[in-house]
Structure 1
Amino acid sequence: MRIEIRGLQDERFQRPLQLITNLFYEESKVKLTTLNDAEMLATFTIEEKDTVKVTLQLLDVETNETWTSCSERIYVQLSEKEKYKQLKNAISHAYLTALQERTGIIQKWGFLTGIRPTKLLHKALRDGKSKEEAHEMLHEQYRITDEKIDLMQQIVERQLKAIPDLYDLKNEVSIYIGIPFCPTKCAYCTFPAYAIRANKGSVSTFLAGLHYEIEAIGNFLKENNIAITTVYFGGGTPTSITAEEMDALYSDMYKYFPDVENIREITVEAGRPDTITPEKLAVLNKWNIDRISINPQSYTDETLKAIGRHHSVQETIDKFHLARSMNMNNINMDLIIGLPGEGTEEFQHSLDETKKLMPESLTVHTLSFKRASEMTQNKQKYKVADRTEVEKMMHLAEDWTAANGYVPYYLYRQQNILGNLENVGYSFAGQESLYNIMIMEEQQSIIGIGCGAASKFVHPETGIITRFANPKDPKSYNDTYEQYTQEKIDILKELFLKSQS
C-alpha cells in the first residue's frame, strides 16, 4: 500500500505514520511528499488554539471512497516538547481511526508501537493516578483496548508481588552473561548465535575474555558495595559449551561477584534440549542453580526441522524429565505462536504436551519477522498463519494458562510481530523470572558481559537510560574485550560513585 501524506511538513511524523501503516499492510510506503502511483491520499488539517484539533480525510484513489476522522488534544500551558507530543498523538489517533474504518481491523494495542507497554502503567500509578485514571489515560492517549489494559494491570500487580521493592532497586544491578554459541541457528533468530561446531577454535579465546569481564566487573561491584539482584546466562545457548567450561564460569562468578549467596535469582538458559547432559546438570547442582529454560518452541517435529532446530520433540520431553530428576525445580519453557505451517491445531497440540510436563513458567512468543533473520530474508519459504489464526492461538494460550494455574507476569512487543500481538510470560505464583521483570521494566542497570551482550545503564537518580553493546562477533570481541570492560566500568563510576558522593 502506497500512501501520500498531505498537510504535514514536519519529517518527524513520517516514522510514526509508517509504523501505524505497517500494522495494517504488510508491504507499505508512506511519504510526506508527492508519491507517484499513490493508492491512498491522507490529507491532514490542523487547528491550533487552546487545543490542537486534527482532522483527516483518507481517500482511496481508485474508488474515490473516503473516510474521515478527527482527534483533539489539550494544547495550552505546555512546553514545545509536550506540544509536539500532543500533536503527534492527535495525528496518530486520527490516522489509526481512519485505517481501522477502512480495513475493518481493530488494533487492540492502538497506535502504541513501543516494546514495553507496562512501563506506561507503572509510571502512571507511581505518579499518583488511580487505577481507573491510569486505564483511561492508556485508552485516550494510545487507543489501547480494555482487553490489553486488563492484561497490563494483571502483569503490573504480579510484578509488584514478585518484587515488592521493584521501584527501590536502582542502587543495585543485574548481570546478563552472553555466550554466543548454539548447535545451529534457528531461522527466526537474530541473537548473536554461532554454530559451535564451526567455531570451536574461537570458544576458548572467547571464554578467556568472558572470565576477564566477570573478574573486572565483579571486583568493581564488590569494592564499591554494589549488590547484584539477578544473574542471567543467555546467548546463544550457554549450555552449548562443555560441562568443564560451565563449571569454570560459575566458579569465577562465586569468586568475584559480591555476596552471591544473596543474589535473588540465577538463571541459565538451557534452551536447546540437544545441549543438555547429565554432566552439565550436575555442574548446575554443584553451584546451586536450579532455574533453567528448556525451550520446545513447538511439539511438532516437522516444524522443528523447518526452523532449523536439530532436536526432536521426544528429546525435549526426555531432557525435561532428566532435568527434573536432577533437582531443576524452576523450569521455564517457550512456545512460539505462528511458526511456519502451524495453526490452531498444532498449537493446541503443543499446549496439550506442555500439560503433561507442567513447567513452573511458560513464555508464549508471537513470531516476529526480524530484519536480519533467515526467515525474513526468505519469506517465500515460510508460510505462516494469518492475523485471525494467530489471534485464535493467542486466545488458546490465554485460556490454557488460566485454566492451569498460570498468571501473566511480564510482556513485551516487537516490530513486525504477527497480528500486532505480544509476547507474554506466565508462571505459577512465586516462580516468576525476576530477571525478565527487571529487563522489561528498566528499574535498574543491567550489565551485559560477553560477546553481543548489551548493557542498559539506568541512572539511579534521573532514570535516564544509556545503552552500551559489546561486539557481536567473537573475533571482534576477543580483540577488544579489555577496552569494552573498562568503558563499562567508567560508566558505572559515573552512575554510582558520583551519585553516592
Structure 2
Amino acid sequence: MRIEIKGLDDERFHRPLQNIANLFFEESEVLLAADDSAELQVTFNWQASDTVLAKAELFEKETDKRYQASHEIEIVPESTDKEVFKEVKRAVSYVFVNVLQDMTGIKQKWGILTGIRPTKLLHRKIKQGISPKIAHEQLQEDYMISEEKVALMEKIVERQMDVVPDLYSLKNEVSIYIGIPFCPTKCAYCTFPAYAINGRQGSVQSFLGGLHFEIREIGKWLKENNIKITTIYYGGGTPTSITAEEMDMLYEEMYASFPDVDKVREITVEAGRPDTITPEKLEVLKKWNIDRISVNPQSYIQETLKAIGRHHTVEETIEKFHLSRSMGMNNINMDLIIGLPGEELPEFKTTLDETKKLMPESLTVHTLSFKRASEMTRNKQKYKVASREEAEKMMNAAENWTAEHGYTPYYLYRQKNILGNLENVGYSIPGQESIYNIMIMEEQQTIIGLGCGAASKFIDPVTEKITQFANPKDPKSYNDHFEHYTHKKIEILEELFKKENFHA
C-alpha cells in the first residue's frame, strides 16, 4: 500500500507515520512527496500555540471515499521547541491512526504506540506521583490505548513492584548480560547473533578467550568502584551450546571476577535448545548454584519445528525438561511462539495442553515477528503464517490458559512487524519471576553486555539518559577487537558512575 502524505514535508514525520502504516498493511510505503501511483492520499494540517491542533483527511482513490479526524493537545507552559514538536508528532499520529482505523475497520488496541516498552509509560506516571485512576485515564486519552491493554499494563506493573519493590532505587547497581553467539542450527525467525557451532571450535575457543578477558576487566572495575550486580543473564545464541568444561571455566571466571556473586539476586542461563542439554552440563550449573534456566519448545508440533529449523524433537523437549527438573533446576522457563508457519488456534491449543503436563515456573508467550534479517522474512512466500484475527485468538487462548493455571503476567514488550500488532508477555507462578527480564524491559538501571553481539545499555543514575553500545556481532570481529570494546565500556562506566553521580 503506497500512501502519499500532503502537508507534512518535515522528514521527522516519516518514521512515526511509516511505523503506524505498518500496523495496518503488510506491505506499505509512506511518501512525503507527491505520487500519482499512491492508493491513499492523506492530507494533514496542524497548528501550535497554547494547544496543538492536528487534522487529517484520508482519500481512498479506489472507492472515492474520504475519512476525517482531528485531535487537540494542550501544551505545557514554557515548553521547549523540542517538547512542542513531540506533542505535534503525537497529535499527527493520533489522527493518522483514526483515519486508518475508519478506513480499514482494524482497531489498534495499542493505539498510537509503536514502541517496544509500553509499561515504561505507566512507571513514569507512578514515579511522578500520579494516581492509578488518573494514570489509567491519561494512557487511554493520550495514546488511544484500549481498556484491555491498559488493564494488562497495570497488572504487570503491580506485579513488578511486588517482585522488585526497590525497582526505582537500583540505578546505582548494574545487571550483566553475557552473550554466547552459537547454536546447533539457526532458526528461521532468528536475527540474534547465532552461528551454527559445528566446525567452529577454533572460533569458539577464541571467542571464549575474549569473553573471559571482558569478565575479568569489567569485574575488576565493578569491585574497585563498589558497584553491586543485581542480576546476571547468559543469553545468545544458546549458552549451553559450548561444552560442559567450557561452561565450568566460564562460571568459575564469573565467581572469581565479579563482586559478591553469592549476593546476586538471580543468575539465569538460557538452555533454550533442548538438543544442547546434557547431564554433564546440568551438573556444572548445579555446581555453581545456577538453577534458573530456559528450556524452549517454541511449539509442540513436530512439523513446525522442522519448518523453522529446530533440529530437536517434541519428545526431546519433554525429556530434557524432566532431566533438568530431576537434576535440581528449580526455576524453569519455557518460551512459546504464536503464529509460527502452518499453525493456527488448534495447533497452539495442543502446545498449551503439552505445557500443562510440565507446568514450568514461568512461560513467555512470544508473537511471531518478521524481523528484517531473518530467513523467514526473506522468504515470506515459503512460510505461511496465521491471519491477524487468528493470532489474536491464539493470544487470548494464552491469556485464559495462564490465568486458569495460576500464572500472572509480569513483563511485556513489543516488536516491529509483530503479527497482528500484538505483544510478547512473560507469565510466572508468583515468586518465580525473572528479575532480569523486568530490569531489561523497564530500563531502571545500566545493563552491561559482554560477549559477541552483546548490547550494553548505560542509564545515567541522575538524568536517566540512555546510551547504547554494542559489541561486534560476528565472532571474528569480536575476537579481533574485544580489548577495545572492553576499555570503551569502562570509559563510559567511569563517566556514568563518577563520584558526584553515584551518591546523587
In the other structure, the counterpart of 2:270 is: 269
CA distance in 2 between partners of 1:150 and 1:319 (Å): 36
The residue type paired with residue 45 of structure 2 is: T
In the other structure, the counterpart of 1:346 is: 347
Structure 1, residues 54-90: CA drift from partner, whole Å, max 9, x if none? 2211111122111111111113622211211111111
In the other structure, the counterpart of 1:16 is: 16
In the other structure, the counterpart of 1:53 is: 53
The residue type paired with residue 265 of structure 1 is: E
CA distance in 1 between partners of 2:29 and 2:206 (Å): 45
1:32 and 2:32 are equivalent in the alignment: yes
CA distance in 2 between partners of 1:114 and 1:196 (Å): 34
In the other structure, the counterpart of 1:283 is: 284
CA distance in 2 between partners of 1:420 and 1:309 (Å): 25
Structure 1 residue 223: deviation in Å? 1.4
In the other structure, the counterpart of 1:299 is: 300
Asked if structure 1 preserves the Cα contact closer than 8 Å seen for 2:368 and 2:419, the reply is: yes
1:333 and 2:328 are equivalent in the alignment: no
CA distance in 2 between partners of 1:38 and 1:479 (Å): 48
SS at match of 2:213: helix
Change (3 A) 1:152 1:76: closer
Structure 1, residues 352-383: CA drift from partner, whole Å, max 9, x if none? 00000000000000000000000000111000
1:213 and 2:214 are equivalent in the alignment: yes
- Farther-moved stretch of structure 1 (4-13 vs 275-284): 4-13
SS at match of 1:336: strand
Asked if structure 1 preserves the Cα contact closer than 8 Å seen for 2:172 and 2:502, the reply is: no
Structure 1, residues 232-258: CA drift from partner, whole Å, max 9, x if none? 011100000000000000001111110
Q: 5 Å matches for 1:42-81?
A: 42-75=42-75, 77=77, 78-81=79-82
Report the identity percentage. Answer: 69
Asked if structure 1 preserves the Cα contact closer than 8 Å seen for 2:409 and 2:425, the reply is: yes
Asked if structure 1 preserves the Cα contact closer than 8 Å seen for 2:18 and 2:30, the reply is: yes
For structure 1, the residue ranges without an aligned partner over 5 or more in a row are none
Structure 1, residues 385-419: CA drift from partner, whole Å, max 9, x if none? 00000000000000000000000000000000000
SS at match of 1:198: coil
Structure 1 residue 32: deviation in Å? 1.5
The residue type paired with residue 59 of structure 1 is: F
In the other structure, the counterpart of 2:390 is: 389
Change (3 A) 1:261 1:343: same
CA distance in 1 between partners of 2:371 and 2:185 (Å): 18
CA distance in 2 between partners of 1:353 and 1:414 (Å): 27
In the other structure, the counterpart of 1:198 is: 199
In the other structure, the counterpart of 1:377 is: 378
In the other structure, the counterpart of 1:7 is: 7
CA distance in 2 between partners of 1:318 and 1:427 (Å): 22
In the other structure, the counterpart of 1:122 is: 123
- Farther-moved stretch of structure 1 (365-374 vs 48-57): 48-57
For structure 2, the residue ranges without an aligned partner over 5 or more in a row are none
Q: 5 Å matches for 1:434-453?
A: 434-453=435-454
Structure 1 residue 48: deviation in Å? 3.5
- Farther-moved stretch of structure 1 (131-140 vs 315-324): 131-140
In the other structure, the counterpart of 1:464 is: 465
CA distance in 1 between partners of 2:449 and 2:47 (Å): 47
In the other structure, the counterpart of 1:476 is: 477
CA distance in 1 between partners of 2:379 and 2:107 (Å): 29
The residue type paired with residue 403 of structure 1 is: E
Asked if structure 1 preserves the Cα contact closer than 8 Å seen for 2:461 and 2:502, the reply is: no
How many residues were matched structurally?
A: 501
Asked if structure 1 preserves the Cα contact closer than 8 Å seen for 2:58 and 2:67, the reply is: yes
Give the TM-score taking structure 1 as reference length: 0.99
Structure 1, residues 134-176: CA drift from partner, whole Å, max 9, x if none? 1111111111101000000000000011001000001110000
The residue type paired with residue 322 of structure 1 is: L
Asked if structure 1 preserves the Cα contact closer than 8 Å seen for 2:174 and 2:446, the reply is: yes
Structure 1 residue 198: deviation in Å? 3.1
In the other structure, the counterpart of 2:236 is: 235
CA distance in 2 between partners of 1:228 and 1:52 (Å): 45
CA distance in 2 between partners of 1:410 and 1:170 (Å): 19
In the other structure, the counterpart of 2:409 is: 408
SS at match of 1:16: helix
Structure 1 residue 53: deviation in Å? 1.6
Change (3 A) 1:89 1:286: same
SS at match of 2:159: helix
Change (3 A) 1:500 1:82: closer
CA distance in 2 between partners of 1:468 and 1:45 (Å): 38
CA distance in 2 between partners of 1:399 and 1:423 (Å): 15
Structure 1, residues 171-230: CA drift from partner, whole Å, max 9, x if none? 110000100000000000000000000322211111111111111111111111110000
The residue type paired with residue 118 of structure 1 is: T
CA distance in 1 between partners of 2:232 and 2:123 (Å): 23
Structure 1 residue 50: deviation in Å? 2.8
Structure 1 residue 473: deviation in Å? 0.5
CA distance in 1 between partners of 2:147 and 2:268 (Å): 34
CA distance in 2 between partners of 1:226 and 1:408 (Å): 30
The residue type paired with residue 4 of structure 1 is: E
CA distance in 2 between partners of 1:136 and 1:268 (Å): 39
The residue type paired with residue 32 of structure 2 is: L
CA distance in 2 between partners of 1:101 and 1:282 (Å): 58
SS at match of 2:68: strand
Structure 1 residue 384: deviation in Å? 0.0
